[in-house]
Structures are given as C-alpha cells and as structure tokens.
C-alpha cells in the first residue's frame, strides 16, 4: 500500500556527510506553514516528549495553527506543567484551545498501554500523534521491567507499541457514526540523520532484538542511530499493511538541533559541536509539523525539510528485505502481550 516514490536525490547522496553539512548550513530549512496553508481548528494532537526541545517547539507551532486540543505526553508531570506555562505565557491560548498533560513513560509497557487506552476515550477524537520522545544514552542502561537496553526500549520498542495501539484508536474512530468522513489519522515517528550512518552490526544476529541487550557489544556511537534505523524499517513494513485512508504513518528528520537535552549526556565536545552545527529546535520542529500535515503520498516515507526524501540507504538494500521480515516478526512477538498481531490483522482488512 505504500507508494513507489521517485526521489530528487539518491539514498546514498542523501546519507552523505557533505549533504548533511549542506542541509545544516546552506538549506533554508522547511518552508514556513501559515494558518492559510493549514488550519488545525477542531483537531486534537498528541506530542510525546513535549516538555522540552523539539517537542515543545512542535507543540507551540501546532497551537499557532489553531490546534484545538493539545496533549503534552510527558513522563514527568511537573515538567509538563512547566511546558504548559511556557506555551501559554509566550502566547495566550485562543478561545477554545486547551492543553492537557498526560503521563507517558516509554520505559514501561504498562504506561504505554494505559496511555493508548486513554487516547481511545478521547472526545472529540484523536487526529494527530507525533512520536517525538527519544533518548541517546552515553552508557549502557538496561530497562528494569523489560530487560532491554534503554535506547532500543524508548526509541524503538515502545514507540512501535504506541504506534500500533494508536492505529486501533484511529480504526475505532472510523466506525463512530458522527464522523462518517473522518480524515485519516496521522502518526509521525521522529527519526534522525544518524539512521543512515548506523553500522547496524546486529543485523545478522538471531534473535535480532536480543542482540541489542548484550552489554559487551553495546556501541555508544552506533546504538542511537540503529534504533532510528529500526524505526524506518518498521514504518516501511507497516505502510505495506495498512491503508493511508486509515492513518498516514511516516518518519521525519528534524536535522541536528540545539536547544534540546538529547546530547546532554554526551559531553562537552558534543555540546559545542551541536551548538555550532545545529539549527534551532524550532526549525527542526517545523519538519515534524510538515510530516503531520503532508498528504497520503507521505505514507511509509521520510519527510525532511518539508519534502519526501529517501530513508537510510540500508532500507532500500536487498539485505534489508530479509532483515525487515525478521525484525517485524520479532517485534510482533515481543509486543504480543498487547495483541498487536490481531490489531495489524484487523487493520489490514480495513
């Protein structure tokens, strides 16, 4: 069901460091989106990891486009309150606009499941979800409940679980009689340039997901990018199975941004590099808004600076076909407790 797109640039060119530098220094970035282009009044959106950095800026931009209900999904309620204050102090909400703060912790499957259940009770219905929460650890951290390494847990496994559970929410809302012509839902998964640079040394390991939990093989320079690459492989496969008329699911790359805490664990050199080479978080956030408002042609694709561009070269390789099938199967098994296979089966028939 995902469309064959012809890109204006090859995946290899897109992945080159030269192209990255060009994007960071010489591109004008994503074009501005005005209220005349996009009017989100009447709509409800969730932004995860919304208490700072790119997520906070994205939230601000959605409100500027007249979004009616914004749900800040955060793991720390106090940080959520500070974010709400920052959003409303900078610019008072317009009549009818509301901001809610919902707890979501990607380190806990229970939290993800409870969050999705609550999203299913939304009235008016959910329209847009931006899955922005992410980590880039400087040391190996094992999740105490799942046993998985924490970058994999946060950036891939829990993101995928939430995606699948929210797809069920979109499916259920389609059958609600008072919204017979509901426009497709939107799910944006925030990716990264680093996906294209990942070595992904685990790719031939069986089982695949377990290989990421081996502390001895953990590679601090590779793990984050690999988790983002897994997200791209997942989105590509998911888009073959669900129709964009139900929900448009895509990935987006904000580019290297300063003004966030993502690289805070990574030391002074990284901090200075990000400040020199990065763009403001607001510029990166605009890419997320583009991805959330692009048409169905972006289903299963990668949106960058407002355009559909190639994902990591590996995604288009012969090898990826087999690896993606293994990843998909293992991911379904890992998340079987939440009935994800049944969800995908029921969505495939939609």
Contact between residue 24 and residue 276 where contact means Cβ atoms under 8 Å apart: no
- The residue from 23, 60, 75, 290 that contacts ligand NAP (CB under 6 A) is 75
The active-site residue, picked from 2, 59, 107, 191, is 191
Residues numbered 197-256 forming contacts with ligand NAP, rule: CB under 6 A: 254, 256
Q: Determine the Cα–Cα distance for residues 312 and 14; give it in Å rounded to an integer.
A: 8
Given the rule CB under 6 A, which of 6-14, 84-92, 98-106, 309-317 is the region that contacts ligand NAP? 98-106
- Where are the strands (E) in 104-197, listed by range? 128-131, 185-190
Catalytic: which of 224, 260, 263, 302? Answer: 224
HEC string for 172-220: HHHCCCCCCCCCCEEEEEECCCHHHHCCCHHHHCCCHHHHCCCHHHCCC
Alpha-carbon torsion, ordered 255, 259, 261, 265, to 10 deg: 80
Number of residues that bind ligand NAP (CB under 6 A): 27
Q: From residue 36 to residue 65, what is the string marking binding to ligand NAP with x (rule CB under 6 A)?
A: -------------x-xxxxx----------
Distance of CA 254 to the CA centre of its chain: 11
Q: Which range, of 105-113, 195-203, 293-301, 341-349, touches ligand NAP by CB under 6 A? A: 105-113
Other Cβ atoms closer than 10 A to 309: 20
Catalytic site includes residue 224: yes
- Residue 107 in contact with ligand NAP, rule: CB under 6 A: yes
Residue 228 known to be catalytic = yes
| 145 is an interface residue for ligand NAP by CB under 6 A | no
* Interacting residue ranges for ligand NAP, rule: CB under 6 A: 49, 51-55, 75-76, 79, 104-107, 132-135, 154, 190, 192, 254, 256-257, 260-262, 278
Catalytic residues: 191, 224, 228
């Amino acid at each position: 069901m995902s469309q064959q797109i012809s890109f204006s640039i090859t995946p290899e060119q897109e992945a080159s460091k030269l192209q990255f530098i060009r994007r960071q220094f010489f591109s004008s970035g994503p074009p501005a989106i005005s209220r005349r282009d996009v009017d989100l009044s009447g709509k409800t959106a969730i932004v995860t990891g919304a208490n700072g950095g790119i997520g906070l800026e994205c939230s601000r931009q959605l409100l500027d486009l007249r979004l009616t209900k914004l749900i800040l999904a955060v793991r720390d309620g106090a940080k959520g309150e500070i974010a709400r204050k920052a959003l409303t102090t900078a610019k008072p909400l317009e009549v009818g606009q509301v901001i809610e703060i919902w707890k979501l912790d990607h380190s806990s499957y229970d939290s993800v499941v409870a969050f999705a259940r609550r999203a299913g009770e939304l009235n008016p219905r959910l329209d847009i979800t931006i899955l922005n929460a992410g980590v880039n650890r400087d040391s190996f951290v094992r999740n105490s409940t799942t046993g998985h390494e924490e970058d994999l847990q946060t950036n891939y496994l829990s993101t995928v679980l939430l995606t699948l559970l929210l797809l069920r929410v979109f499916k259920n809302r389609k059958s609600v009689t008072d919204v017979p012509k509901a426009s497709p839902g939107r799910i944006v998964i925030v990716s990264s340039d680093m996906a294209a640079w990942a070595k992904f040394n685990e790719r031939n390991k069986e089982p695949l997901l377990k290989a990421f939990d081996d502390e001895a093989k953990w590679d601090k320079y590779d793990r984050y990018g690999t988790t983002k690459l897994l997200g791209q492989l997942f989105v590509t496969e998911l888009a073959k199975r669900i129709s964009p008329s139900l929900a448009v699911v895509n990935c987006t790359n904000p580019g290297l941004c300063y003004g966030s805490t993502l690289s805070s664990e990574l030391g002074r050199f990284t901090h200075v590099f990000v400040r020199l080479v990065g763009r403001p978080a607001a510029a990166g956030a605009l890419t997320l808004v583009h991805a959330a408002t692009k048409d169905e042609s972006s289903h299963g694709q990668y949106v960058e600076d407002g355009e559909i561009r190639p994902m990591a070269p590996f995604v288009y390789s012969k090898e990826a076909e087999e690896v993606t099938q293994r990843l998909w199967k293992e991911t379904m098994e890992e998340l079987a407790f939440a009935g994800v296979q049944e969800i995908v089966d029921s969505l495939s028939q939609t």
